[in-house]
Structure 1
Amino acid sequence: MAASWREKLHESIPKSRVPGQARKVFASHDTPGYGSMVSARPSLQDMEDIETSLNETNTSRTLLNELEATSISGNDILSSTFYVSGLVTLSAGKMAPVCLLLVAVVLWVFRGIYHESVTALPCNGGTYNILLDCTSKQVASVAAVFAVIAYITTGVVSALTAVAYLQTVIPDAIDLQTATILLLLFFCLLTNVGISESATFAKYVFVTHVATLVVLCVFGVLYMLANTELLMENLRSGYPEVDAAGVTISGSFWTALFYGFSSAMLGVSGFETSSQFVEEQAPGVFPKTLRNMWAGVIIFNPLLSLISFAALPVATICENKDTVLAGTAHVVGRWVHEKLHFPDHVEFGKMLSVWVSIDAFVVLAGAVLTSYVGINGLIRRMSLDRCLPQFFLKKNPYTHTDSFILVSFFVLCVSQVILLDSDVEALGGVYCYAFLSVMSIFAFGNILLKIKRPSLPREIKVPYSQSLLGLVAVVIALLGNILGKPELLTYFFVYFLIIGTLVLLMFKRVALLRLAYRILGGARGGGRTQPREGDPEQVALVGEAGDVEMQHDRTCLARLSRALKKVKDVPFVFFAKHDDLHMLNKAVLYIQANEQTSRLIIVHVASGDGEVDVAELGEHVKLLDLLYPKIKISLLVIEEERAFSPATVEWLSRQIGVPTNAMFISCPDENFATTVSSLRGMRIITSGI
């Protein structure tokens, strides 16, 4: 019996004559047929088996605890400590510590924004996931393009800075650009053979990194208190000249604050990392990771910048912007050596500098690995949602990894290294454009979440003023980077166009195939060479050629038609809790605007409570099927006593072969019987009733 209802659900009644469209002729690929109305009853045994399977999966999953989750995201955000001080000093001079402290305040604002948004929609994907459930797929994809560029530049900046710190240990043996490319290649090969970042590895790296920073801060504070001369001299220095849209202007307090704050936002890169793997974190861990990352930023970044001012002249900091902490550690270590009367052969200054450099290399290399892992998850999610070509989903037959994604990422990273000539300052500017765009879009998404999905349960609700403050602060920082480094917009838009074009082609492929079909179909009607009268040989030749050409045209048209059908013949599911024609129509309009499909299955789970008249619901679905002739709309009524549940969703996914990310619901409220996270990627596409 189960097979019969599935066959009926997928079969199509030909739309030979569409009511109200008698004079409109549709091509075969635009006439998917009429939908059907069927009912199905899951067996009690099937549902029990699925519930057992889901429970076993949930209990067997090893979720990340606070230290493990903080380590993965903390390695990313705290690795910026090694290069942000020098970059900020270039623009802010003596105001660098103040700018870094101001950025920490902005990050506190974003703690609440991320906490509210991600606990309302606790699925992996960060900005892309929030916008996917609050706006259209096109808007979410644009945000994802910014995130992809941010991942590319994170990997490149981390690799370059890691190699720069390694050069302080073995200066003559390493070429910066070559070593950076080799480091990127190493992690490309590593992830291609299936070795990804583990929580244990990340935990040891993070603990070692924090211990290194703590030791450097403790010794640095003692040094700063005992040696205030250079610090005071640096704090009395003037403000650096800045580039304002290509014009060099003299520095002032306000230029230092504005451009320094804009550059200092690079110091919070990686704050969004935790939202990318929230599904792998134990309950209650996510907000703790936000708190821990914020604590690391507000303590280490301003303090280490101030210590570097006590140890090095501003000019030296600017000259060695990529390895400021190694130089600071060397000066501080020599002072500790003198005060503690170490033997001369110990050279504690050099030892501390080498320690800091090796720690920088390891944690920055870990950030490169995080970029590979993060981009793999994001591109795979976008490919599953049909925002990117499906070949990205092909697995390596030997290692079962996503080699197309990983190798493409490596190629883009290498192109950026070569194009910007290994310039960390320029790469930092490109990264700021992408990262700040992602953060501003996230703040905007939080505002949309409040407006369009107000009934979604969430742990906290931040006021509109906090969301707006975060958005304004990030936009100001983005404006500062654009004014300070306008020439980098060219490089940024090159990568935006490369990735954005792929996404655009995916969204417009049906329109492009239709255009090709119409052009070829129109060309068939005219433009043929006519034979001269009275020339039988030419008549025969032209006739033969015409038949061949006609056959070729028919073959091309048939191929285009089959390609269109293949793209569109992917079913999507909308769960309708109520018989609301307005809501059903909104769902159809959303799917037509965002998905390239000609098949929609409206599913109603009838629990026997009698709240919904199934016959009337069927009439409404039939009406929608007539109103939208280019999409086949079917109704499936699932007779399940326990009503809608994750087990019902899983049963349906297995029965009709539709993944959960192709299933949609209207916005739930606090009375929703299950949690959004348990629905495993189902999309919210309309407001609740």
Structure 2
Amino acid sequence: MSTPSSKSDEAFGASSSDDVALDSTTNESWIAIEPPMPPRNIQVISDLCSEPPSFSAAQFDIVLRRQHQRSRDGGGVKKAAIPSRFLNLSDTFEFSGWGTLSRIELDPSDISYGEKCIQDGRRAKTLGQFTASALAGNAVLGSVFYALPAVVIASGVYSPISLFIATLVLFLWRPIMEELASALPFGGAPYTYLLNVSSKWLALLGAAMLLLDYASTSVVSAATAAAYLSGEVSLPFPAYVGALLVVVVFTIVSLSGLRESARIALVVLSLHILTMLALFVASVVAWARTGNSLIHENWVMGRGPLRAGHIVGEVFNGVCIGVLGLTGFECTPSYVSSIKPGRFPRVLRNLHYPAIFLNCLSMLFLLALVPLETILSGANVLSALASAAGKWLRIWVVVDAVVVLCGGVLTGILGACELSDRLARDRLLPRFFLRRLTWTHAPFVSIVFFALFCCVLYAASGASLSIVSKMFSLIWLAVMTLFPIAVLLLKFNRGRLPRQPRTSLTIVFSTLIIAFVIIGGNIAIDPTIVGYAAAYLVALATIFYVTMKKGRFVRWFLWIYDQSSSLNAFLWTKNWGHRMAKMMMHMRRQPVCLLVKTDEINRLFHKLLYVCENEETSRLKLVHFYDEEGGIPSEMEANWKILDEAFPEITVDLVLVRGPFNPLNVAALANRLQVPTTLMFMSCPGQNFSYPVADFGTRIISL
């Protein structure tokens, strides 16, 4: 057997000592006949005169020396020379085959499929500024029915000031949300924001918060609607049954599809705004008729000590509770992929200004026309305010409260559907979550499962609106904190990504500080909210982590089975090992793609590390698009072979695609390779990039 004494010897197949050398470690046997050794002086002169081997002859020298057993056609097993952790079972499932090199020219059928995908993505942007505003507007503007009494309890007669300050802080969040939506206009935000600017585990934590926020939005809205109705009329069933009925009814409504649901939400929101305007007009008339006597009595009763510290403390507590009157804003970015281009800033504006107007005026009229003890009792305060104009207006307000709160249930369902669709495309949820109804294209599996999750959440709280509301308050604040965190990571990790506008770091850090202060204030007011929120969040985050690392958990179970002789003894457990090995191989068989531009091995290496840390796969395809003018980078093939050897647990294929790198060809390649674009990873594009990043639908994993 020959020894690798030098690169030139190995490259040209020469042996240093034997007259006849047979290499038995390769797939092909070969014979190298060494000529007689010349005299020493002649050998020295020959070495001095000969030219060194060219780069083209020696570039694969080191790689070929170590890959004696590698087949030219790929396949085989990249078995590493390390001890196995399994005593009784084979560990071949932990290793993959050698990768292959392939050159692809996209067919007309692939191109037509890519064109269809691009057009479908653009046609999906069907929501204008008003229909998009309505989807979240019922949750944002409907919160007035349950937020006002809580603010009065915390802030007393200073509630209008607290609510005004609380609604103003949203001016800090709006440019942050606009920048994120401009850079990454994908559904399922802020999970997708974190997925593209940070690691997958942080994105999954955000997904757990977001799903819990959507569920609590639906449950709180449904339970409040049932409680509001039961406070006015005698129901033939308990209030919790009414809440469950509301969830079921709007689950059926959401099956009509996104566009129809948006139209229904717009009708509901229009009714609510008309109702509030009528209530304000009636309140102005009643205030003019009764005068300022009641507001003076409420002021004297609720002002407390006139000390600066006490007043500031009351106002601060009211601000901490008052921001919960803005719940629903976090749902808007979740369906930004369905909003027409350029409309998202208008959607935020359409939600923000009415929230300021409705919250502050409602609180002012309450203090002027409703006794303070009635407000503090937690009764249906807006219906009590409507009583000043007559019974007809009270009935109208009650009907509006029930309807608009039910619209908040729809907001949570639609937001959860966008999130589950993205999680399923990222293989964190089973693929059947992508199934849709034929006639409405509604994701019925996601809708049904989310409705069941809402029922479980409500039942786990003992059907207590108070417990769910406490959990909701902290989860909502945590979700709102994800936006400044995401934009900060966007600026640091993906600073080259084109976007407009760009938020200054002063606004970002100010928003973070305010968010943490408000979270601390809510915890100080009621420390029990931490326990409620943490319990649900830890449970949901654990489930998501298991789905992300499911292969690792199967491997642990397989090792326990291998080490336990008692499990192998029983007849009904005898085949568990083979079944778990097959299960793990099936999970890891699904491929992912790295879209690479250069052949720099350090960049390629870090991208492969990202795949190893964040994806459960044993099949990776390095994809490079090229044309005749630019050609293929000179060291692409050599570095691919090195990486294929460096990662024995992954089969690394090199795919060279003839054609320009654009959304059409990427979508066509996804069809050709049967890999969804959400599992194609690319580097961050720069300012001069010719295409919108949303048209690719790929994940950005590096600067």
Q: Paired residue for 1:15?
A: 77
Q: Paired residue for 1:338?
A: none
| Structure number with larger C-alpha Rg | 2
Which amino acid letter does the alignment assign opposite residue 611 of structure 2? I
Q: Paired residue for 1:668?
A: 685
* Equivalent-residue separation in structure 2 for 1:208 and 1:518 (angstroms): 61
**Structure 1's 93 and 657: CA in aligned 2 closer, same or farther, altered over 3 A?**
same
Q: Paired residue for 2:317?
A: 259
* Equivalent-residue separation in structure 2 for 1:298 and 1:284 (angstroms): 23
Q: Is the 8 A contact 1:77 1:269 kept in 2?
A: yes
Structure 1 counterpart of 2:486, from 445, 465, 469: 445
Q: Is the 8 A contact 2:317 2:525 kept in 1?
A: yes
* Equivalent-residue separation in structure 2 for 1:212 and 1:452 (angstroms): 47
* Equivalent-residue separation in structure 2 for 1:461 and 1:453 (angstroms): 13
* Equivalent-residue separation in structure 2 for 1:586 and 1:13 (angstroms): 25
Counterparts of 1:90-489 in structure 2 under 5 Å? Answer: 90-171=153-234, 173=236, 175-191=238-254, 198-224=261-287, 227-238=291-302, 252-321=310-379, 323-331=380-388, 333=389, 349-390=390-431, 392-393=433-434, 402=443, 404-420=445-461, 422-489=463-530
How far 1:174 sits from its partner (Å)?
5.6
* Equivalent-residue separation in structure 1 for 2:104 and 2:425 (angstroms): 27
Q: Paired residue for 1:623?
A: 642
Q: Is the 8 A contact 1:456 1:668 kept in 2?
A: yes
Q: Is the 8 A contact 1:176 1:422 kept in 2?
A: no
Structure 2 counterpart of 1:574, from 575, 594, 607: 594
Question: 1:617-667 CA distances to partner (integer Å, 9 max, x unpaired)?
Answer: 111111111111111111101011xx1111111111111110111111111
Which amino acid letter does the alignment assign opposite residue 13 of structure 1? G
1:602 is aligned to 2:619: no
How far 1:466 sits from its partner (Å)?
0.7
**Structure 1's 283 and 393: CA in aligned 2 closer, same or farther, altered over 3 A?**
closer
Q: Is the 8 A contact 1:667 1:685 kept in 2?
A: yes
1:29 is aligned to 2:93: yes
Question: 1:465-512 CA distances to partner (integer Å, 9 max, x unpaired)?
Answer: 111111121222212222222223333233223322211221232222
Q: Is the 8 A contact 1:571 1:601 kept in 2?
A: yes
**Structure 1's 16 and 142: CA in aligned 2 closer, same or farther, altered over 3 A?**
closer
* Equivalent-residue separation in structure 2 for 1:497 and 1:23 (angstroms): 37
Q: Is the 8 A contact 2:137 2:351 kept in 1?
A: yes
* Equivalent-residue separation in structure 1 for 2:265 and 2:440 (angstroms): 23
How far 1:84 sits from its partner (Å)?
1.1
Percent sequence identity is: 28
* Equivalent-residue separation in structure 1 for 2:163 and 2:465 (angstroms): 19
For residue 692 of structure 2, give the secondary structure of its aligned residue in structure 1.
Answer: coil
- RMSD of aligned Cα (Å): 2.9
Stretch moving more, 102-111 or 388-397: 388-397
Q: Is the 8 A contact 1:96 1:260 kept in 2?
A: yes
* Equivalent-residue separation in structure 2 for 1:268 and 1:11 (angstroms): 60
**Structure 1's 560 and 57: CA in aligned 2 closer, same or farther, altered over 3 A?**
closer
Q: Paired residue for 1:345?
A: none
Task: Give the length in aligned residue pairs.
Answer: 626
**Structure 1's 459 and 16: CA in aligned 2 closer, same or farther, altered over 3 A?**
closer
**Structure 1's 408 and 22: CA in aligned 2 closer, same or farther, altered over 3 A?**
closer
For residue 602 of structure 1, give the secondary structure of its aligned residue in structure 2.
Answer: strand
How far 1:462 sits from its partner (Å)?
1.0
**Structure 1's 216 and 618: CA in aligned 2 closer, same or farther, altered over 3 A?**
same
**Structure 1's 461 and 141: CA in aligned 2 closer, same or farther, altered over 3 A?**
same
Q: Paired residue for 2:148?
A: 85
* Equivalent-residue separation in structure 1 for 2:369 and 2:570 (angstroms): 82
**Structure 1's 522 and 426: CA in aligned 2 closer, same or farther, altered over 3 A?**
closer
Q: Paired residue for 1:535?
A: none
Which amino acid letter does the alignment assign opposite residue 483 of structure 1? A
1:686 is aligned to 2:702: yes
Q: Is the 8 A contact 2:129 2:343 kept in 1?
A: yes
**Structure 1's 492 and 239: CA in aligned 2 closer, same or farther, altered over 3 A?**
farther
Q: Is the 8 A contact 1:430 1:488 kept in 2?
A: yes
How far 1:186 sits from its partner (Å)?
2.3
Structure 2 counterpart of 1:634, from 634, 641, 653: 653
User: Please, what TM-score do these two structures have when normalized by structure 2?
Assistant: 0.83
How far 1:115 sits from its partner (Å)?
0.6
How far 1:418 sits from its partner (Å)?
4.2
Q: Paired residue for 2:130?
A: 67
How far 1:58 sits from its partner (Å)?
5.5
How far 1:190 sits from its partner (Å)?
4.2
**Structure 1's 64 and 406: CA in aligned 2 closer, same or farther, altered over 3 A?**
closer
**Structure 1's 14 and 432: CA in aligned 2 closer, same or farther, altered over 3 A?**
same
How far 1:238 sits from its partner (Å)?
3.6
How far 1:46 sits from its partner (Å)?
3.9
Q: Paired residue for 1:491?
A: 532
**Structure 1's 647 and 131: CA in aligned 2 closer, same or farther, altered over 3 A?**
same
**Structure 1's 55 and 392: CA in aligned 2 closer, same or farther, altered over 3 A?**
closer
For residue 301 of structure 2, give the secondary structure of its aligned residue in structure 1.
Answer: coil
For residue 596 of structure 1, give the secondary structure of its aligned residue in structure 2.
Answer: coil
Which amino acid letter does the alignment assign opposite residue 625 of structure 1? D
* Equivalent-residue separation in structure 2 for 1:609 and 1:240 (angstroms): 80
Q: Is the 8 A contact 2:79 2:92 kept in 1?
A: no
**Structure 1's 210 and 625: CA in aligned 2 closer, same or farther, altered over 3 A?**
same
Stretch moving more, 298-307 or 402-411: 402-411
For residue 127 of structure 2, give the secondary structure of its aligned residue in structure 1.
Answer: coil
Which amino acid letter does the alignment assign opposite residue 132 of structure 1? L
How far 1:266 sits from its partner (Å)?
1.0
Q: Is the 8 A contact 1:76 1:370 kept in 2?
A: yes
How far 1:48 sits from its partner (Å)?
5.3
Question: 1:198-254 CA distances to partner (integer Å, 9 max, x unpaired)?
Answer: 22222222222112222222332444455222122223334589xxxxxxxxx9323
* Equivalent-residue separation in structure 2 for 1:397 and 1:70 (angstroms): 27
**Structure 1's 566 and 77: CA in aligned 2 closer, same or farther, altered over 3 A?**
same
Which amino acid letter does the alignment assign opposite residue 288 of structure 1? R
Q: Is the 8 A contact 2:118 2:663 kept in 1?
A: no
Q: Paired residue for 1:6?
A: none
Q: Is the 8 A contact 1:40 1:637 kept in 2?
A: yes
How far 1:122 sits from its partner (Å)?
0.7
**Structure 1's 391 and 266: CA in aligned 2 closer, same or farther, altered over 3 A?**
same
Question: 1:307-339 CA distances to partner (integer Å, 9 max, x unpaired)?
Answer: 111111222112135x211111112x1xxxxxx
Which amino acid letter does the alignment assign opposite residue 384 of structure 2? G
